[in-house]
Amino acid sequence: MQLTRFPRVRLGHLPTPLEPMPNLSKILGGPSLYIKRDDCTGLSSGGNKTRKLEFLMADALAKGADAVITQGAVQSNHARQTAAAAAKLGMGCVILLENRTGSNSPDYCGSGNVLLDHIHGAPTRTYPGGTDMNAAMEKVAEELRSAGRKPYVIVGGGSNPIGALGYVNCALELVVQANDQGLRIDHLVHATGSAGTQAGLVAGLEGCRSRIPVLGIGVRAARPQQEENVYKLACATADHLGISGSVARDRVVANCDYVGSGYGMPTEGMIEAINLVARTEGVLLDPVYSGKAMAGLVDLVRKGHFKKTENVVFLHTGGSVGLFGYNGIFDSTRPT
Ligand SMILES: *Cc1c(COP(=O)(O)O)cnc(C)c1O
C-alpha cells in the first residue's frame, strides 16, 4: 500500500492535531476521550472533504478538467470545500444543492455553507428533495461541455475509491501520531454519511493491520444499508490500492440509532452534545454530522459501552459553519 502512487494536490493543513478531551472524559466518567481535529484541515474553515479533495482534484487536473461539478444537501460542507478547492486551483465550479430537509428558512438557504459557496465564487442551483442528483449533474456537465469547458463530476460527498484515499491517508497519519504520543487507540468513532470517510479509514487501518476498530455513527441511512455502502466502498478502495481482500465484512460497523427523524433534522441529543463539547472543551461541532455522532458517543459512554480503561478517539469531521444555517435550534438552551 503506497499512497504516493496516486496523484495528489496539497490542500489541507496536515497532520491535524490529535488531542485529549480531559474535561469531557471527566464529566462523563467513562473511557479516556481524545479528538482527532479534522475540523482543522484549513481549507475554507476545514472539514473531512479536504482530504478527499486532495486526491479528487488531482485526478480532475490529470484528466485535463477546467471545472468541477458536485452536489450535496443545501448546507453541504462538501460543496463548500469543493468550491474553495476549485478557487485555489483556478478551476470553475458549479454546485447543485438538494433541499433534503424541505426547510425554506433564510438561514438554512442562504447562510452558513451556502454563503461561503458564493463567496468562493461558485454558483449554486437548488433542487427539491428526492431529485436524481446524479442525472442533474450530468445535465450540467453537458451544458458546460457545449460551452467548450471540460467538466469533472465529483460524486456527492466525494465518496468513491479516489476520494476515500484521503481517509486511507488519515488512517496512516493517525497510527503514526498515536505511536509518537504513546497512545493505544481502542476505538475510533466518527460520523458516517456518504461512506467515504469510514471506507477509507477501514481500508487504511486494515491495510496496515492496526486492528483499531472503527465505529461509524450514521446520519441518514438505516444500519444494514449504511454498512453495505461502507463495506462496498472499502473493498473498492482496497482494490484501487492494490490490497484486494484486506477488508473483512465484520470490520465495518455502523450504529444508526442517532439519526432522529431524518438527515439534517435536529435531535435533542445533538443539541445537548454540541453544547456539552462547546462548554467543556471549547470545540464546535456541527448539527448534521459531528453533533449527532457525538450524541451517539456520549450515549454509548453513559450506557457503559466502553471500558473505563479504554482510549476512544473521536474523529471530528468538521462542519461547524453549518451552525449558522441552523440558527434558532439553540434558543431553548441559551444561557441566562
Ligand atoms: C460529509 C461529512 C461527514 C460524513 O463523511 P462521509 O465520508 O460522507 O461519510 C461527516 N461530517 C461532516 C462535517 C461532513 O461534512
pLDDT in tens, 50-61: 999 999 999 999
Q: Would you place residue 71 in the very low, low, confident or very high pLDDT band (cuts 50, 70, 90)?
A: very high
| Alpha-carbon gap, residue 18 to 191, rounded angstroms | 17
**At 183, is the secondary structure helix, strand, or coil?**
coil
Q: Name the residue at shortest CA distance from atom 8 of ligand 1.
A: 194
Q: Average model confidence (pLDDT) for the chain?
A: 98
C-alpha cell at 66: 477546467
| Alpha-carbon gap, residue 282 to 274, rounded angstroms | 10
Q: Would you place residue 203 in the very low, low, confident or very high pLDDT band (cuts 50, 70, 90)?
A: very high
Q: With a cut of 90, say whether residue 1 has pLDDT above it.
A: no
pLDDT, tens digit (0-9, with 9 covering 90-100), for 184-201: 999 999 999 999 999 999
Q: Tell me the average pLDDT across 124-147.
A: 98
Q: With a cut of 90, say whether residue 173 has pLDDT above it.
A: yes
Closest ligand 1 atom to Cα of 200: 7
Share of residues in the chain with pLDDT > 90 (%): 99
pLDDT, tens digit (0-9, with 9 covering 90-100), for 227-242: 999 999 999 999 999 9
Looking at residue 281, what is its pLDDT?
A: 98
The CA-to-CA distance between both ends of the chain, in Å, stands at 54
Please, are residues 186 and 159 in contact by the beta-carbon 8 Å criterion? no
| Alpha-carbon gap, residue 230 to 300, rounded angstroms | 21
| Alpha-carbon gap, residue 336 to 289, rounded angstroms | 28
Query: Any idea which residues carry the catalytic annotation?
Result: 76
Q: With a cut of 90, say whether residue 323 has pLDDT above it.
A: yes
pLDDT, tens digit (0-9, with 9 covering 90-100), for 278-309: 999 999 999 999 999 999 999 999 999 999 99
Q: With a cut of 90, say whether residue 70 has pLDDT above it.
A: yes
Ligand 1 interacting residues, C-beta cut-off 6 A: 47-48, 77-78, 157, 159, 191-198, 286, 289-290, 317-319
C-alpha cell at 271: 443539541
Closest ligand 1 atom to Cα of 47: 13
Helices 165-181, 223-241: inter-axial angle, 10-degree rounding: 90
Choose one of 289, 316, 323, 326 to mutate for the ligand 1 pocket test, by most ligand atoms within 8 angstroms of C-beta. 289
